[in-house]
Amino acid sequence: MFNKNIALEHLQQWNKNTIGDHLGIEYLEIGEDYIAARMPVDHRTHQPFGILHGGASVVLAETLGSLSSFLLLPDATKQQAVGLDINANHIRAVKSGWVYGKSTPIHVGRTTHVWEIRITNEENKLVCISRLTMAIINL
């Protein structure tokens, strides 16, 4: 499904000097129609009560979904994928360790893409579920 043959190391290089880099997001796997990554739950991603900040979960979700849409563009010099809408339901608190996100397509159209991003803890229990709509624009 993805149009680009890209190595995980290349994705990590794209992440340099971005919010994903600042929060410690690491790409783990690129499948035919999904991308998986992990993010640490530590001082960078905590809210004041010492648990994973919902906004950090949304950053992980939007990072995965945005990159997934980018990898579907036939020619990134002529089009760009930009976030149109995101929602997130925070299901379970996490105090430390890692959370894992995986983006999968719900809809891949000519002008919009919709992604489901499931974020789980180290025990594979659901922490957050997010839906991201991307607009595909011509440059």
* Annotated catalytic residue within 29, 62, 122, 123: 62
In the block, tokens 């600042």 appear at 22
How many Å apart are CA 110 and CA 45, to the nearest integer? 35
How many Å apart are CA 39 and CA 24, to the nearest integer? 6
How many Å apart are CA 36 and CA 30, to the nearest integer? 6
26 given a catalytic annotation: no
Q: Which residues are designated catalytic?
A: 62
